[in-house]
Amino acid sequence: MIKVYFHLCLEGFSNCYVVGNEKTKQALIIDPGTVTKEMIMQIEQNHFSLEAVLITHNHLSHHKGFKTLRKIYQPKVYTADYELAADNTKILKGDGILKIIGTNVGYLSVPGHTADSMVYKIGQILFTGDALTAGLLGSTNNSYAERILKTNIKTKILSQNDELIIMPGHGPPSTIKSEKQFNTQVYSNKSTCTNVRSSYREFITA
């Protein structure tokens, strides 16, 4: 059984996720913005072996805690940005499927918010980083990047099963169905090009 545990990183109010396989007792972490006592206890009390760290994009609030994790564990890091590469790193390109912690982990390249933005799919959950937040489009630096991001979201994310759950890099969870119905920024022809961030600071632990 795969379980997802949520942790809020107060620095930057970014979302971090611990994903554990109860059967294999292996775990991975998505976007370790910070490393907290609670996060370590989550791993240790469940007797998980931390196998991997998945980074959605190269913004410090989403990977700052990785250096600390590597002092405690020896996870393999998965990223699309060479700047984050270190020992035991796999650079991701395009779309594909990984086999980690005894389950399939899909990855999708969705540039726009950043050139290296990745979305990860585990079971019925999409971890979208900052590319897509509940009701909002990820921030972009120019109208060209925004068009690319909108296209990627429509073709690679919102084209999937309506019941898939979206776990973003900031703010509350959502679903594909909800974003199709209520995310007007994705379908708007008007450019936003602003560094919008959700005001939500609390989240329900999965």
User: Domain residues of the chain, as ranges?
Assistant: 2-187
Q: What is the mean pLDDT of residues 24-41?
A: 94
Instruction: Report pTM.
Output: 0.89
**pLDDT attached to residue 200:** 32
What Rg value do the Cα atoms of the chain yield, rounded? Answer: 16
Q: Which two tokens stand for residue 193?
A: 């090009």
Note the pLDDT of residue 142: 92
Instruction: Provide the CA 179 distance to its chain's centre, in angstroms.
Output: 17
C-alpha distance from residue 203 to each of 20, 83, 199 (Å) = 19, 30, 12
Contact 46, 25 (CB under 8 A): yes
pLDDT digits (tens, 9 = 90+) for 72-125: 999 999 999 988 887 889 999 999 999 999 999 999 999 999 999 999 999 999
Which residue type, as a one-letter code, is found at position 189?
N
**How much is the pLDDT for 191?**
65
At residue 10, the 3 state secondary structure works out as coil
User: What is the C-alpha separation between 38 and 46, in angstroms, rounded?
Assistant: 12
The pLDDT assigned to 196 comes to: 40
Please check whether the domain covering 2-187 is classified as CATH 3.40.50.300.
no
CA distance 196 to 192: 9
pLDDT at 198: 35
- pLDDT of res. 67: 86
Q: How confident is the model at residue 31 (pLDDT cuts 50, 70, 90)?
A: very high
- Measured between its terminal Cα atoms, the distance across the chain in Å is 14
For range 18-40, the mean pLDDT: 95
